[in-house]
């Protein structure tokens, strides 16, 4: 493949002021320029209202949270240096780091925390609506103290305060505006290790080292360039030639993973995704009277061979899902009493007949459209696999192709869909990201990654709201078990595959994070080693 087919080739690196010879050959651990991949292109450099992972891959190098998390998923200081939880669980006092400035030179203060918590996390963040439901107010007795006042104890909050889940945005730039339309979503101003330089749409996003960063000696590279390469084969080739050195979130074709893992110049790792606990799913639009019929949804579940889906589409990188909480979240997961829908096309046919949809001329019972999360070929292939599976029981599906922005608008703003398939990320505590499909209060038109199906069940709402306030970990785990049972009984969503994400990077990189949230953390610890080291 010609290097001139790449959106960010060597000749273009020079044009944007990047010395490729330093990146490729003479870098030391104290500088150089890191070329990374982000795929697909971010919609906005802000995860406050759109938690799509490409946004976070770039954004979390620019913004920060109050804490980060270590290998044991325990909170560590970031913009907060320490904190105390009151004995009654009704307040958390955060002591903020002094001497931190925004990239425009304005001091970071508790006012930024208050604005972010009350106006962003609670109002527009897709997962924050659930996570921070208990948060009533943030008191700011001084510039470096923020006191969270809770209406009830909430165990989930301390698992939700990193950059991706609870980003701190500058109040002086966002307060009083609609964050979803802010110009700073395309030219972000953060406190993080890298400063925004340029976004050349369709080609690359350039960040540079923040010389005023509060953590001494970091970041360890001078620039990070996130290259945007739409073609999957070209992304793999860019890694093999060394034109790209870091590629998170399954950026190469799954069919190439085995070959790339045998390349001594590359590392393929599954580390960095433990907090995500991602699974793929099929979501129904219950506004469609056909799909509002439970027997139809059960039939569709019976018509899909999940193990074949893992093997054929995902190249064995995962396993069949049994419900809305992945098995990796052992504290919360159960199969006890959780309904399962084993692959059984004959049973699917019978359910469809009972639902009042017999086969007609040509053997078709009814026709629907399926939309897929357009981030890599895996989701397109998953949609095609589902199309073929349902055709065998008389359901004709039309696969619709579109870019990410159009997909988000269709599913979450217009509700103009029948079935959609994508990925859900419950995070380290499924209250953070695993309840959104199922809570009626998360039907939030215009907010990506919320309850798009329109599913409403007062009994489900009661379970979700009970586990949000439960302070006994054992009782809370039991409520999560009830959640799984009811979710699989009502079936507004079919969990399909517990997904195993991966990162590919050059063996010349040191310090790539292996933390549970490493794939969505900053690259401040990454350094470039000279070739041959």
Residues 356 and 223 placed together within one structural domain of the fold: no
* Domain of residue 134, CATH code: 3.90.76.10
Q: Is the pLDDT of residue 87 over 50?
A: yes
Q: 322 and 387, same structural domain? A: yes
Cα separation, 413 vs 408, in Å, equals: 7
- With respect to residue 182, please indicate whether it lies within any of the assigned structural domains: no
Q: Which residues pair with 84 in a beta bridge?
A: 93
Closest among 26, 34, 31 to 523, alpha carbons compared: 34
Distance separating the N- and C-terminal Cα atoms of the chain: 27
Phi and psi at residue 205, in whole multiples of 5°?
A: -125, 125
The domain containing residue 161 runs over which residues? 67-174
What is the rounded distance in angstroms from the CA atom of residue 299 to the CA atom of residue 446? 30
Give pLDDT tens digits for 499-518.
Answer: 988 999 999 999 999 888 88
Reported as half-sphere exposure (CB side, CA atoms, 13 A), residue 507 has a value of 13
Distance (Å, rounded) from C-alpha 67 to C-alpha 158? Answer: 9
Q: Supply the CATH number for residue 348's domain.
A: 3.10.105.10
391 with 422, same domain: the answer is: yes
Mean pLDDT of the chain: 91
* Residue 52 pLDDT exceeds 90: no
Q: Is residue 362 part of a domain?
A: yes
Q: Give mean pLDDT, residues 148-173.
A: 94
Residue 180 lies in a domain: no
Same domain, 168 and 155: yes
pLDDT-derived band at 63 (thresholds 50, 70, 90) equals very high
In a 10 Å sphere around its CB, with 0-12 CB exposed, 13-18 middle and 19+ buried, how is residue 494 labelled?
Answer: buried
- What is the pTM for the complete model shown? 0.75
Distance of CA 264 to the CA centre of its chain: 30
Q: Which residues of 29-67 are buried (b: 16+ CB within 10 A; e: fewer)?
A: eebbbbbbbbbbbbbbbbbbbbbbbbbbbbbbbbbbbbb
Assigned domain for 430 exists: yes
Task: State whether 24 and 157 are in the same domain.
Answer: no
3-state secondary structure of 254: helix
Contact 80, 67 (CB under 8 A): yes
Looking at residue 416, its pLDDT comes to 98
Claim to verify: residue 455 and residue 314 sit in the same structural domain: yes
In a domain, 183, yes or no: no
Examine the pLDDT at 166 and tell me if it is beyond 60. yes
Phi, psi at 161, each rounded to 5°: -115, 20
pLDDT higher at 72 or 332:
332
Distances from the Cα of 7 to the Cα of 2, 226, 230, 286, 495, angstroms = 11, 11, 9, 41, 36
- Give the CATH number for residue 220: 3.40.190.10
**Same domain? 495 vs 505:** no
HSE-up (13 A, CA, CB side) for residue 468? 24
Q: Are residues 364 and 269 in the same domain?
A: no
* Pair (14, 146) in one structural domain: no
Distance from C-alpha of 401 to C-alpha of 417, rounded to nearest angstrom: 12
Domain membership of residue 48 (yes or no) is yes
Burial (CB count within 10 angstroms: exposed 0-12, middle 13-18, buried 19+), residue 210: buried
The domain tally of the chain equals 3
Nearest to 151 by CA among 474, 465, 441, 473: 465
254 and 285 inside one domain: no
Percent of the residues in the chain that have a pLDDT greater than 70, as a whole number: 94
Classify each residue of 159-195 as buried b or exposed e, where b means 16 or more C-beta atoms within 10 Å of its C-beta: bbbbbbbbbbbbbebbeeeebeebebbeebbbbbbbb
Q: Do residues 148 and 242 both lie within one domain?
A: no
Question: Which pLDDT does position 532 carry in this prediction?
Answer: 61
Q: For the residues 362-384, what does the mean pLDDT come to?
A: 94
Is 179 within the bounds of a domain? no
User: Is there a domain that residue 181 lies in?
Assistant: no
Res. 29: pLDDT tops 80? no
Last residue of a domain, one of 174, 209, 234: 174
Cβ partners under 8 Å of residue 472, min gap 6? none
Q: Using CA atoms, how far apart are residues 100 and 142, in angstroms rounded to an integer?
A: 15
Assess whether 113 and 237 both reside in one domain: no
Domain boundary among 124, 144, 174: 174
């Amino acid at each position: 493949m010609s290097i001139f087919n790449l959106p960010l080739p060597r000749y273009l690196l020079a044009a944007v002021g990047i010395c490729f010879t330093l990146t490729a050959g003479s870098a030391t651990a104290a500088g150089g320029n890191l070329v990374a991949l982000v795929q697909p292109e971010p919609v906005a450099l802000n995860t406050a209202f759109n938690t799509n992972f490409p946004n976070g891959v770039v954004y979390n190098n620019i913004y920060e949270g109050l804490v980060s998390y270590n290998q044991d998923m325990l909170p560590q200081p970031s913009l907060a240096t320490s904190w105390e939880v009151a004995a009654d669980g009704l307040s958390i006092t955060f002591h903020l780091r002094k001497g931190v400035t925004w990239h425009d030179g304005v001091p970071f203060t508790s006012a930024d925390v208050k604005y972010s918590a009350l106006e962003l996390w609670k109002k527009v963040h897709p997962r924050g609506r659930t996570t921070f439901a208990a948060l009533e107010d943030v008191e700011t007795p001084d510039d470096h103290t923020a006191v969270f006042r809770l209406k009830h104890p909430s165990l989930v909050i301390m698992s939700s305060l990193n950059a991706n889940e609870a980003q701190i945005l500058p109040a002086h730039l966002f307060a009083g505006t609609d964050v979803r339309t802010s110009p700073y979503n395309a030219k972000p101003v953060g406190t993080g290790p890298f400063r925004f330089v340029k976004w050349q749409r369709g080609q690359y996003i350039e960040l540079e080292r923040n010389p005023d960063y509060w953590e001494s000696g970091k970041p360890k590279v001078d620039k990070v360039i996130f290259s945007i390469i739409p073609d999957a084969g070209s992304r793999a080739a860019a890694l093999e030639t060394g034109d790209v050195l870091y590629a998170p979130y399954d950026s190469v074709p799954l069919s190439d993973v085995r070959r790339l893992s045998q390349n001594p110049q590359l590392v393929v790792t599954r580390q960095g995704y433990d907090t995500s606990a991602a699974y793929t799913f099929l979501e129904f639009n219950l506004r469609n009277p056909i799909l509002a019929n439970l027997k139809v949804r059960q039939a569709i579940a019976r018509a899909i061979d999940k193990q074949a889906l893992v093997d054929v589409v995902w190249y064995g990188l995962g396993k069949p899902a049994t419900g809305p909480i992945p098995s990796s979240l052992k504290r919360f997961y159960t199969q006890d009493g959780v309904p399962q829908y084993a692959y059984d096309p004959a049973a699917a046919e019978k359910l469809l007949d009972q639902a009042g949809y017999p086969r007609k001329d040509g053997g078709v019972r009814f026709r629907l459209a399926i939309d897929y999360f357009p981030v890599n070929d895996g989701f397109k292939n998953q949609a095609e696999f589902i199309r073929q599976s349902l055709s065998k029981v008389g359901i004709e599906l039309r696969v619709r192709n579109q870019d990410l922005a159009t997909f988000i608008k269709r599913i979450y703003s217009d509700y103009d869909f029948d079935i959609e398939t994508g990925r859900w990320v419950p995070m380290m505590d499924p209250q953070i990201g695993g309840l959104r499909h199922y809570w009626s209060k998360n039907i939030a038109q215009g907010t990506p990654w919320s309850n798009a199906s329109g599913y409403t069940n007062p009994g489900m709402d009661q379970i979700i709201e009970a586990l949000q306030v439960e302070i006994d970990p054992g009782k809370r785990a039991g409520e999560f078990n009830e959640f799984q049972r009811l979710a699989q009984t009502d079936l507004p969503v079919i969990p399909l595959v517990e997904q195993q994400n991966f990162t590919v990077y050059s063996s010349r990189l040191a310090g790539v994070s292996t933390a549970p949230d490493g794939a969505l953390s900053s690259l401040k610890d990454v350094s470039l080693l000279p070739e041959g080291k």
